[in-house]
Amino acid sequence: MKFNTKTIHGGQKHDLAYGAVMPPIYQTSTYAQSTPGGHKGYEYSRTHNPTRNALENAFASIENGNYGLAFGSGLAAIDAVLKLLKPGDEVISTNDLYGGSYRLFTRIYKDFGIKFHFVGMDNASKIENYINGNTKLIWVETPTNPMMNIIDIKSVGEIAKRRNVLLAVDNTFATPYLQRPLDLGADIVMHSATKYIGGHSDLVMGALIVKDKDLADSLYFIQNASGAVCGPQDSFLALRGIKTLHVRMQRHCENGKAVAEYLANHPKIEKVYWPGFENHPNHDIAKSQMDDFGGMVSFVAKGNNYDEAIKIVENLKVFTLAESLGGVESLAGHPASMTHSSIPKEEREKTGVVDSLIRLSVGIEDIDDLIADLEKAIR
């Protein structure tokens, strides 16, 4: 099955009871048993739920994995991966990443005895300097949030395999429409399904997808034992979202490109971060590992001025000033005070997340309205 067909049919079975084309929302916590242990495959909804299972099968299908797991948020999914580790283990992570991931690593897991190295992975070989006998996990975001840095998944995967370390890729920005990390050598793909997968800004959810059975079993154990699962209503909404992922992503990419090019040619704009530009760092890698460049664009206005940046985001009307990304509607964010405020200023600025940086999640509205909105706000 090709990708566009998989988004609609991948891992799905028609409902056995009445032939419902969409999986029913099994809004139940428990399941009748004829005798202890005598059930139809479902005992309790933290462990399994038919609607969530349908979604988990869809996750596995679109990422070319064998096993999918759904969680109550993207961070709950990341948390489950970190629970594979033991005190004394070490993690090498991209140094530019979602602020909440950084907070989970440094404010929770560091205190449990896990050591984190935050490394600029513009060249994969830099990782080698940080790998030792305790290294158990490499955490990669690509494109990174919000600087749109590109990391070579295949090269990192080769190092991870050679050194017997797990590689997890946060594929939230790219989605499997653009990039399939398991095919490039990653062991785990993670999503904030809150974003493009759900696609309509109406749910909070996380996903993990793997190929390996033992790894899947360990993660299923953690999912059930820790219990950060999502409910059947949200599972249904995410499944519905996946069915239009390919059509939405196509328009996100078209509009993202138009907005990036408009900003790059604007006399009042200093710098635009979008991996489709030929001079974007690692553009060639983006071109080889992604099928297009997505709908996320970050930029800094001339003068690099905090007040100017705030004025721009306040004056936008079609773009909504809000946290999050990946919905059909365009959003604008100010990473330093919003999504990345949990990263100390000195750390943030080392990777380019300055106080004047604005991040856009370009939606699927009419491009003329989006450009006109930006033009008014910037002028």
How many Å from the N-terminal Cα to the C-terminal Cα in the chain?
48
- CA-to-CA dists, residue 196 to 39, 240, 247, 271, 295, angstroms: 36, 12, 11, 25, 10
Query: Closest-CB residue for ligand PLP?
Result: 74
Q: Which two tokens stand for residue 361?
A: 């999640």
Minimum CB separation of residue 131 from ligand PLP in Å reads: 24
Name, in order, each residue with C-beta under 8 angstroms of 300's C-beta and a sequence gap of 6 or more: 269, 270, 271, 309, 354, 356, 357, 358
Q: Which two tokens stand for residue 191?
A: 């999503």
Using the minimum distance from each CB to ligand PLP, give the nearer residue, 152 or 170: 170
Using the minimum distance from each CB to ligand PLP, give the nearer residue, 50 or 79: 79
Distance CA 286, CA 281 (A): 9
**What is the DSSP code (8-state) at residue 308?**
H
Minimum CB separation of residue 172 from ligand PLP in Å reads: 4
Using the minimum distance from each CB to ligand PLP, give the nearer residue, 45 or 101: 101
Do the bridges between strand 90-94 and strand 115-119 make them parallel or antiparallel, or are there none, so unpaired?
A: parallel
Strand order in the sheet with 166-170: 67-71, 206-210, 188-192, 166-170, 135-141, 90-94, 115-119
CB 82 within 8 A of CB 234: no
Minimum CB separation of residue 323 from ligand PLP in Å reads: 7
Please give the residue ranges that form the binding site for ligand PLP (CB under 6 A). 73-75, 98, 100-101, 141, 145, 170, 172-173, 192, 194, 204, 206, 339
DSSP codes joined into one string, 146-186:
TT-----HHHHHHHHHHTT-EEEEE-TTTHHHH--GGGGT-
Minimum CB separation of residue 146 from ligand PLP in Å reads: 9
Using the minimum distance from each CB to ligand PLP, give the nearer residue, 8 or 322: 322
Minimum CB separation of residue 219 from ligand PLP in Å reads: 17
Write down how long the chain is.
379
Provide the CA 24 distance to its chain's centre, in angstroms. Answer: 27
The residues carrying an active-site annotation are 46, 98, 170, 195
Minimum CB separation of residue 326 from ligand PLP in Å reads: 8
Please state the φ and ψ torsions of residue 22, each to the nearest 5 degrees.
Answer: -95, 140
Question: Helix, strand or coil for residue 334?
Answer: coil
Using the minimum distance from each CB to ligand PLP, give the nearer residue, 50 or 68: 68
Using the minimum distance from each CB to ligand PLP, give the nearer residue, 173 or 236: 173
Distance CA 127, CA 117 (A): 10
Distance CA 98, CA 108 (A): 15
Minimum CB separation of residue 1 from ligand PLP in Å reads: 27
Using the minimum distance from each CB to ligand PLP, give the nearer residue, 193 or 272: 193
